[in-house]
Structure 1
Amino acid sequence: MDLASVIRLLLLSAIWGSSFLFMRIAAPVLGPGILIELRVGFAALFLMLVGFAIKKQLKWREHWRHYMILGLFNSALPFLLLAYAAQTLSASLLSILNATAPIWGAIISALWLRQAMPFKKVLGLVVGIAGVAILVGVDSAALSLDAKVAISASIGAAVCYGIASTYAHSAKSVEPFANAHGGMWASTLLVAPAMLFFPIVEAPSANLMLSVVFLGVVCSGVAYLLYYRLISDVGASSALTVTFLIPVFGILWGSVFLNEAVSWNTLLGTSVILVGTALVTGFSPRTVFAARQQTSR
């Protein structure tokens, strides 16, 4: 992986890690419905402008069902669940629980294809669940009813990402930028009714609205462009490294900007979850290097 790709990888990890910080700031004020409608709406408008600039057609009539399914499971539903959880949980915890998405993706893929999971993946699943138990099981604040519901919502979001990744692999081929662009417009339509069930809590400040714009344009729109550029440059295996770096930045931003405590169980639970994710995905520095060698030939 060359220096430019490493910089893009770190930048993408930092951006996606910051999304949990901005949701933690904005969700208690705007509520999940309005916050996520603004997030996906700003992202859709940004990607539309990019699409015009690079002359990429959306082909909505041809692929609208595909965009709706992808938008539901890759953006609308997981974003709403994370925003709901962000009213209660810390940005650090949100980012760590989100890192379990590849584990659920492996389970869903095995069920979808009706294939037995190899022992290594089963072990990774057990290790990942143990990591979640370490992360939340020794924290008395996480044992309250509100926290349990929020933790379940966060894990539900990770499951949605697993469904989305499995569906994307099995669905008909659609150009990656169109997936991001069309998925965001579909999400904008799907999230709109949620605004009726999650009314705004209080009038937002100008700074908070800037955070929401950043969440939509940068954390969703720009982040997708960076991610697909990474896949193009270094391959999917190397791009998967972002999964392991997002919690690092999530914990960092939460600690620096929200004074969230970083306890021993946070660090241990995160490490165990990432080990489980590595086992499930087959990720290792050696596979990244091998993938980079293949793409460079």
Structure 2
Amino acid sequence: MKAVAIPAAGAPRGWLVDLVLLGALWGASFLFMRIGAAEFGALPAAAVRVAIAAVFLLPLLLVRGHGPTLAKHWKATMLVGVVSSGIPFALFCFALLTITSGLAAVVNATVPMFGALVAWAWFKDRPNGSRLLGLVIGFTGVAMLASRSAGGAGLHANADGNAALWAVLACLGACVSYGISASATRRYLGGIPPLATATGSQIGATLFLALPALWLWPAQMPSLQAWLALIALGVASTGIAYILFFRLIENAGPARALTVTFLVPVFAVFYGVVFLGEHVTQWMLICAAVIVCGVALSTGLVNLGRRRSTG
């Protein structure tokens, strides 16, 4: 797949800067979603996010000359956008009405595991023993996190345990959706410039969420803070983040780009503590460590397989 032609960073390891910046932007998305969804509601907040991202990306697409490509593949890109953006963004906004941004980001770290499961089912990419162990460890971490969340850990004030379980399930549903979209992109959008895929997906997600968002639009106009949060979410954490991700794949390769998964929860927890006064419990940190270990094994970043013989 041809990457977006954006000048690479000058230093030999300049991709590290892109990696950290991408983790910071995607980590901030949970902060912005929580602020925006609190006043807009889940579906309107998700719809505004993708609409702003589409408006931001479309001129870039046209400047790059990828308009004809998008016109040719508009059905596939827009349908993938429903699964890659529309559904998961709405589910995360719903979850963040109940649980903290840090907790949602920790669950989001399971995306590569669901991606591996979907690829196994769709493309028969059977994981080896080390990766299977990682899946078991990762989902054990999620179960540990969900069980304690039902007892009140990682919840907003006045939220109960049942709401927490629904919120965690919504996050897991979003992760499944991301996993499906990765395989769908591989199956139907191979060879299409990533900027065309990104733009078409945001347009498709906007159309998918438009009517539900209008139906559920808040009666009272949201505050300037909520609007600014969604503008930052659409431009920085969606539009610019897409471009950074494509450049990261081009300069560092897919395997290194995947390691951003480990940075997103770190930044999300940091933002939640500093800007929202969220509390991080020891149990959340333990569960996060278990999930990260599972992700590292299930994605092949760490392999417990055969060792090289010496001598």
| TM-score after normalising by structure 1 | 0.91
Matched, 1:92 2:102: yes
The 2-side partners of 1:188 and 1:107 are apart by 28
Task: Report how far residue 10 of structure 1 moved.
Answer: 0.6
Contact 1:58 1:178 (8 Å CA) reproduced: no
**Deviation readout 1:122-145 (Å, 9 max, x if unpaired):** 211110111112323234115711
Identity of aligned residues (%): 36
Q: 1:264 to 1:181 in 2, by over 3 A?
A: same
The 1-side partners of 2:135 and 2:68 are apart by 37
DSSP 3-state at the match of 2:217: coil
The 2-side partners of 1:43 and 1:162 are apart by 21
The residue that corresponds to 2:115 in the other structure is 105
1:35-184 alignment runs, 5 A limit: 35-114=45-124, 116-139=126-149, 140-141=151-152, 144-171=161-188, 172-184=190-202
The 1-side partners of 2:258 and 2:219 are apart by 37
Task: Report how far residue 213 of structure 1 moved.
Answer: 0.4
DSSP 3-state at the match of 2:40: helix
The 2-side partners of 1:58 and 1:256 are apart by 45
Matched, 1:213 2:234: no
The residue that corresponds to 1:290 in the other structure is none
The 2-side partners of 1:201 and 1:248 are apart by 35
Matched, 1:253 2:271: yes
Which is worse superposed, 82-91 or 113-122?
Answer: 113-122
| Alignment-mate amino acid for residue 48 of structure 1 | L
Matched, 1:280 2:280: no
Contact 1:30 1:202 (8 Å CA) reproduced: no
**Deviation readout 1:213-242 (Å, 9 max, x if unpaired):** 000011100000000011111111111111
Counterpart pick for 2:43 among 16, 33, 37:
33
The 2-side partners of 1:145 and 1:194 are apart by 25
CA RMSD in angstroms, aligned pairs only = 1.8
The 1-side partners of 2:123 and 2:44 are apart by 37
Provide structure 1 residue ranges, at least 5 long, that are not aligned to the other structure: 286-297
DSSP 3-state at the match of 1:145: helix
Contact 2:146 2:165 (8 Å CA) reproduced: no
**Deviation readout 1:12-55 (Å, 9 max, x if unpaired):** 10000000011111112101121111110110011012123333
Matched, 1:20 2:30: yes
Aligned residues: 285
Task: Report how far residue 197 of structure 1 moved.
Answer: 5.2
Matched, 1:264 2:282: yes
The 1-side partners of 2:236 and 2:88 are apart by 18
Q: Give the 4+ runs in structure 1 shifted more than 6 A.
A: none
**Deviation readout 1:227-286 (Å, 9 max, x if unpaired):** 00111111111111111110110111111111111111111111110110111110149x
Which structure: greater helix fraction? 1
Which is worse superposed, 56-65 or 202-211?
Answer: 56-65
The residue that corresponds to 1:292 in the other structure is none
The 1-side partners of 2:219 and 2:237 are apart by 23
| Alignment-mate amino acid for residue 147 of structure 2 | G
The residue that corresponds to 2:306 in the other structure is none
Matched, 1:189 2:180: no
| Alignment-mate amino acid for residue 182 of structure 1 | G
The residue that corresponds to 2:20 in the other structure is 10
**Deviation readout 1:77-118 (Å, 9 max, x if unpaired):** 100111111111100011111110110111111111245442
Task: Report how far residue 194 of structure 1 moved.
Answer: 2.1
Task: Report how far residue 188 of structure 1 moved.
Answer: 0.8
1:214-253 alignment runs, 5 A limit: 214-253=232-271
DSSP 3-state at the match of 1:138: helix
| TM-score after normalising by structure 2 | 0.87
